[in-house]
C-alpha cells in the first residue's frame, strides 16, 4: 500500500468571474443559449478527465476514478449524442445518454459527463452547483478516510492497531476510518494458512470467496478488535469486507462486531465489481444482526437501487457519484433511501480532485441521512499543483467547508496542467 501526502491550496476567481459576467451579459442582451461544441477526454496522471466545450467559451470538467485509464474511448462514444445540446439543460442531455451506461465500471463515462454539465450550469448561472441541487443544508461536510494508507508492517492484529493509530493522528483529523478486512484484503486472507475452504485465485478485483475456516474467521475478528481498541469511541470504524463471504460467516462476523459499534459492514456478500446487488441476501443478513450493513458502490442508476431500498435490505447505501450516473442521480437515491429509513455514505476513494469538488457540492445538499463521503486524494501528488480553488487546508478536523464559487469552483491551472498531458492529448485545453 502507498502513503499519500496531502496538501491544500487556494485559487483565483478569474474563470468563475468570467462565467458570472457571461451569465449577466446573456440575461441583459438576450444572447442565444450555449451549445456543446466538443467533448474531450485526457488521462491526466491516472484519472480520465473530461472537458465539455461550448460555443461561448465556457467549459465544464468532470473526472473518473484513477483506476480507469481505459475509459477514454467510452467517454468519446457519447460525443455525437450531446453535440449541439444546451449544457445547462442537464436533464435533457442526460436523457440522451443515461440509458447507455451500465454497472461499474461502465457508468463512469456517463457520470463524468453529468458532473461536467453541472459545472457549466453553475458557471453560467453564477452560482455554486449545490444551489442547483436544491441548496445546501450544511456549511461543512464530513469525510471519511479510505485513501490515506500508511504501509502495514505485517498482517497480525497488532499491525492493524499500529496502522489505524497513524490514521487517527493524521492532520486531517478523521472522525471516521474505513479499513479493508476479509476477502476485500488479500494480504489479510493470506496471513495464516487455510483461511478459507478453497485455493487462492488470481484475476479481476476480489476473485476469492467461500466458507472461512474457524481460524480464518477468528483472525479477521481479532484484527477488527485490535483496531477498534485503538480508535475507541473517538473515531468511528467502518469495514470494507468483500465481496465473497457466505451468509453463515457474514452473520457470525456481523454479530461479533455488534459490541464494537462498527459504523458499517460494507459489500460483504456482493459489491464492488459485482454486477448485481442481490437484495434478498442482504435483507436476510440485515435481519440477523444489529451491525449496520452497507453496499452500493458498484451500482449504476436509481432503478438498480430500487430493491435494496424498497426491501429495506441494508442500513446504508454507498453509491459513487462517478459510477452511479452523477451527483443529481445520487441525490435522488439518497432522498429515496431517506424516506425508507436508510442512510447514505457515498464511495469516492479514487475520484480525484475534480471529483472531490463534486462530492462537496453534492454532500452539502444531501438530506439528513448523510453520514460522510470517502475522501479522495490527488494522485500523483502533483495534481495539487495543477488545479486551483480548493480550501487550504482542505480538511479541518474531519470536515470540509463548503465554498461558494460558481460551478464546481475548482478549475485547472492550464499552463501547469499542460506539462502533464500525453502527446495524444496536447489539444485538450486548446
Mapping DSSP onto H, E and C, the string for 107-165 reads CHHHHHHHHHHHHHHHHHHCCEHHHHCCCCCCCEEEEEECCCCCCCCCCCHHHHHHHHH
Interatomic CA distance for residues 139 and 150, integer angstroms: 30
284-302: per-residue pLDDT in tens? Answer: 999 999 999 999 999 999 9
Q: What is the DSSP-derived secondary structure letter of residue 30?
A: T
174-211: per-residue pLDDT in tens? Answer: 999 999 999 999 999 999 999 999 999 998 889 999 99
Interatomic CA distance for residues 160 and 179, integer angstroms: 9
**45 Rama class: left (phi>0) / alpha (psi -120 to 50) / beta:** left
Q: Which of 27-31, 48-52, 295-299, 412-416 has the lowest mean pLDDT?
A: 27-31
Specify the pLDDT at position 11: 37
Interatomic CA distance for residues 36 and 54, integer angstroms: 4
Interatomic CA distance for residues 366 and 349, integer angstroms: 19
Mean pLDDT of 225-240: 98
Q: Which of 10, 13, 1, 42 is nearest to 421 (CA)?
A: 42
Specify the pLDDT at position 306: 98
Helices (H), 290-340: 306-310, 327-338
pLDDT over 70 percentage in the chain: 93
Q: Which of 395, 412, 411 is nearest to 122 (CA)?
A: 411
Q: 25-59: string of b/e by CB count within 10 Å (b at 16+)? A: eeeeeeeeebebeebbbbbbbbbbbbbbbbeeebb
Interatomic CA distance for residues 155 and 160, integer angstroms: 7
Give Cα 50 to chain centroid, integer Å: 17
Specify the pLDDT at position 5: 42
Do 394 and 107 touch, CB atoms closer than 8 A? no
pLDDT over 90 percentage in the chain: 92
238 pLDDT tier (thresholds 50, 70, 90): very high
The helix/strand count (H/E) of the chain reads as 15, 14
Average pLDDT, the chain: 94
Specify the pLDDT at position 10: 34
Mean pLDDT of 407-420: 98
Interatomic CA distance for residues 308 and 294, integer angstroms: 10
Residue found under cell 443544508: 137
275 pLDDT tier (thresholds 50, 70, 90): very high
54 pLDDT tier (thresholds 50, 70, 90): very high
6 pLDDT tier (thresholds 50, 70, 90): very low
Q: Which of 21-30, 134-143, 332-341, 356-365 has the lowest mean pLDDT?
A: 21-30
Residue 63 is inside which H or E element, if any?
Answer: strand 59-63
Specify the pLDDT at position 25: 56
Domains of the chain: 14-127+414-425 (3.30.390.10), 131-410 (3.20.20.120)
Amino acid at each position: 500500500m502507498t502513503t499519500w501526502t496531502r496538501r491544500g491550496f487556494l485559487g483565483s476567481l478569474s474563470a468563475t468571474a468570467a462565467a458570472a459576467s457571461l451569465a449577466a451579459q446573456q440575461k441583459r442582451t438576450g444572447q442565444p443559449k450555449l451549445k456543446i461544441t466538443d467533448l474531450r477526454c485526457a488521462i491526466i496522471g491516472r484519472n480520465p478527465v473530461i472537458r465539455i466545450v461550448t460555443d461561448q467559451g465556457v467549459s465544464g470538467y468532470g473526472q473518473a476514478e484513477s483506476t480507469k485509464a481505459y475509459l477514454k474511448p467510452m467517454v468519446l462514444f457519447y460525443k455525437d449524442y450531446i453535440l449541439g445540446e444546451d449544457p445547462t439543460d442537464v436533464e435533457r442531455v442526460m436523457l440522451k445518454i443515461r440509458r447507455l451506461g451500465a454497472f461499474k465500471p461502465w457508468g463512469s463515462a456517463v457520470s463524468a459527463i453529468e458532473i461536467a454539465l453541472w459545472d457549466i450550469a453553475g458557471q453560467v448561472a453564477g452560482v455554486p452547483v449545490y444551489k442547483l441541487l436544491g441548496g445546501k443544508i450544511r456549511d461543512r461536510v464530513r469525510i471519511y478516510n479510505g485513501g490515506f494508507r500508511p504501509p502495514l508492517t505485517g498482517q497480525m492484529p497488532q499491525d492493524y492497531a499500529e496502522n489505524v493509530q497513524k490514521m487517527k493522528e493524521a492532520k486531517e483529523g478523521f472522525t471516521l476510518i474505513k479499513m479493508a478486512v476479509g476477502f476485500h484484503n488479500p494480504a489479510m486472507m493470506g496471513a495464516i494458512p487455510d483461511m478459507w475452504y478453497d485455493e487462492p485465485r488470481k484475476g479481476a478485483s476480489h476473485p476469492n470467496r467461500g466458507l472461512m475456516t474457524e481460524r480464518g474467521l477468528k483472525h479477521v475478528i481479532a484484527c477488527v478488535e485490535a483496531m477498534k481498541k485503538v480508535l475507541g469511541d473517538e473515531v468511528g470504524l467502518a469495514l470494507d469486507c468483500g465481496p465473497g463471504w457466505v451468509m453463515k460467516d457474514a452473520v457470525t462476523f456481523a454479530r461479533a462486531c455488534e459490541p464494537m459499534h462498527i459504523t458499517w459492514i460494507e459489500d460483504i456478500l456482493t459489491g464492488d465489481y459485482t454486477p448485481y446487488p442481490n437484495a434478498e441476501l442482504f435483507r436476510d443478513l440485515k435481519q440477523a444482526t444489529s451491525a449496520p450493513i452497507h453496499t452500493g458502490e458498484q451500482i449504476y442508476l436509481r432503478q438498480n437501487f430500487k430493491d435494496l431500498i424498497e426491501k429495506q435490505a441494508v442500513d446504508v447505501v454507498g453509491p459513487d457519484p462517478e459510477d452511479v450516473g452523477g451527483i443529481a442521480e445520487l441525490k435522488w437515491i439518497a432522498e429515496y433511501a431517506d424516506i425508507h429509513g436508510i442512510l447514505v455514505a457515498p464511495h469516492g476513494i479514487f475520484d480525484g480532485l475534480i471529483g472531490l469538488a463534486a462530492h462537496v457540492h453534492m454532500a452539502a445538499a444531501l438530506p439528513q441521512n448523510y453520514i460522510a463521503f470517502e475522501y479522495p486524494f490527488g494522485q500523483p501528488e502533483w495534481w495539487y499543483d495543477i488545479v486551483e480553488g480548493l480550501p487550504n487546508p482542505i480538511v479541518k478536523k474531519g470536515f470540509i467547508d463548503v465554498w461558494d464559487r460558481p460551478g464546481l469552483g475548482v478549475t485547472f491551472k492550464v499552463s501547469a496542467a499542460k506539462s502533464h498531458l500525453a502527446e495524444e492529448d496536447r489539444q485538450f485545453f486548446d
